[in-house]
Amino acid sequence: MRKRSVVFELTDGEIRAFWFSVSPFKKQGHSSVTVKFDCIPIPTGVIEQGNIRDEKVLLELLSAYSAQNLGKNHKAYLAIPLQQGFIRSYTLPWIPKRDRKSAISLLVDEEISITRSDLLFDFLVLSEEKHKGIEILLGATRQSLIDQYVHIFGRAGFTVTGVDFAFSILGQSLGFGPNEDVLYLQGKSDSFQIALFRGAVPESVRSLNERVEAWEDEIRRFLLYYRTQHPDLNLKRLVWNGDSVAESLAQGLLTSNHVSEVEQATLTDIPDSWRQVLEENRGLSEVVVGYGSRISAHHPELNLWRQPNITQTVLRRYRGIAALAVALLLIGIISGLSLHQMASPLQQDVQQISSQGARLEAQVKQQEAFETAWNKVKMNPERVGDGIAQIQAINGLPGQKLIIEQVTYKQGTMSLRGSTMEASNVQSLISELRTMGWEQPTLSSYKLTSRNTVEFSLSAKRGRAGAESQTTTALAEGG
């Protein structure tokens, strides 16, 4: 899927826009067919030599233009004037890729006078010979300036992705040779600029004054000064771009033998569908079309907004991940609360049913125990009753100084509690119980009171007839 993009060239008098589409796949190159070029006039004084003087007016112009081109957040690239920047090529010893940024950062500190806190820079590798040397194109400008541009374009609905110098784009798009010195003339009768390229690098750029008749002399003085400062200058070729005034100047310099070759600017590697824009807008569209061509073809480019753009992209991703994590957490909490609210009544019902079940189970077991005991008692009622009657008979025998106070019979075991004046009566009672058929008579407790009375308790089993019922008999003192 192709994404629609736009390149803006910012000048003092107008903003030039070129719309095209970019394939996300590098191998497809620039096959965009639907392209459009626009010029947006801006009042005098809104932009002066690359500095924005009136943000409000510029924002209104860009917002109105954005509204005409349906949609928001179009990916935008800015070509800015070189007056507010620095660009130069350097030949350095070969540096591994992982170390280049830190090494070039040291070079920036030495070569560029912009305060580090307000500095944006980027570099482009022009040529490289592994383990021997590397040639780079280094560009820099003030971050405060670019931030202002990006902020205004962002509010107008454009997402700035790349920023480069207009003359840097021309040097790469016009196909100048790496060791070639070229004089470039650009403009019309009301505005004119000259640039000296050494290879693809704009070495010096100058705007000419308003007196057209003095332009040729001013160019001659510029070349004389530059040759004095740079004896190695080998200027033979002149490339012009603009109206008949630009062509006339070029021919005059050729006649005066300042150059030996003159030609009109022609962009290289441009798709046929884009050439109509160039033909219809000569002198205006070369920068934006050249920039768009390099972007569409995924060529390496100088991008002064590269690092801030990467930082913003990382921040957006982190924010997205954080927002997703918070959303998932909230969903989890809400789901947990909902499930808890749904489960609470169920848990209460389960606990209530469990308690009721436990009570019913206990009642059933108790009922079964009662039924079992009752059945056993029903089977042997005479034997249980006879045993109790015999013990009562012992308590009532004449001459006995033994008092049986309580007899308990439970699950085949008889427990007996009583008192006597003589300890021997307890032993006699145990013997008597054996005679009656009670098994394993055992003395459970034995206590001598202050009144010389022996209080005791004992237990015994009823042999095979151990009944499961419980009988408690409180006996009064015997005769």
Give the residue, 427 or 392, on which the prediction is more confident: 427
Inside any domain, residue 445: yes
Let me know whether 291 and 143 are in one domain: yes
What is the CA 419 to chain-centroid distance, rounded? Answer: 89
Q: Is the pLDDT of residue 213 over 80?
A: no
Inside any domain, residue 351: yes
Let me know whether 80 and 224 are in one domain: no
Domain boundary among 347, 379, 411: 379
Alpha helices (H) in 380-452, listed in sequence order: 381-395, 424-436
Let me know whether 370 and 455 are in one domain: no
Let me know whether 351 and 241 are in one domain: no
Let me know whether 224 and 284 are in one domain: no
Q: What is the dihedral sign for C-alpha 263, 201, 287, 191? A: negative
Most confident by average pLDDT, 180-184, 241-245, 249-253, 387-391: 180-184
Inside any domain, residue 479: no
pLDDT band, residue 8 (cuts 50/70/90)? very high
pLDDT digits (tens, 9 = 90+) for 276-331: 898 888 888 999 999 999 998 888 889 999 988 887 777 777 778 888 888 888 88
Q: Which of 84, 77, 83, 70 is nearest to 17 (CA)?
A: 77
Inside any domain, residue 15: yes
**Could you give the CA distance from residue 278 to residue 408 in angstroms, rounded to a whole number?**
122
Give the residue, 385 or 271, on which the prediction is more confident: 271
Inside any domain, residue 207: yes
Let me know whether 183 and 259 are in one domain: yes
pLDDT digits (tens, 9 = 90+) for 366-376: 777 666 655 65
Mean pLDDT along residues 188-210: 83
What's the structural domain count of the chain? Answer: 4
Domain boundary among 379, 402, 423: 379
Let me know whether 325 and 374 are in one domain: yes
Q: For the domain that residue 233 is a member of, what is the CATH number? A: 3.30.420.40
Mean pLDDT along residues 424-453: 85
Inside any domain, residue 398: yes
Return the structure tokens found at 435.
């005679």
Range of the domain at 334: 309-379
Let me know whether 37 and 164 are in one domain: yes
Let me know whether 335 and 433 are in one domain: no
Does the pTM exceed 0.75? no
Q: For the domain that residue 291 is a member of, what is the CATH number? A: 3.30.420.380
Mean pLDDT along residues 141-162: 94
Let me know whether 126 and 192 are in one domain: no
Give the bridge partners for 181, in sequence order. 198, 235
Mean pLDDT along residues 54-80: 89
Q: Which of 228, 168, 230, 164 is nearest to 195 (CA)?
A: 168
pLDDT digits (tens, 9 = 90+) for 97-142: 899 989 999 999 999 988 989 999 999 998 888 888 999 999 999 9
Mean pLDDT along residues 265-274: 85
Give the residue, 210 or 337, on which the prediction is more confident: 337
Let me know whether 156 and 198 are in one domain: no
Mean pLDDT along residues 447-462: 86
Inside any domain, residue 190: yes
Domain boundary among 379, 406, 428: 379
Let me know whether 155 and 9 are in one domain: yes
pLDDT at residue number 471: 39
Q: For the domain that residue 442 is a member of, what is the CATH number? A: 3.30.1360.100
**Could you give the CA distance from residue 161 to residue 146 in angstroms, rounded to a whole number?**
12
Q: Is the pLDDT of residue 96 over 70?
A: yes
Inside any domain, residue 200: yes
Mean pLDDT along residues 443-458: 86
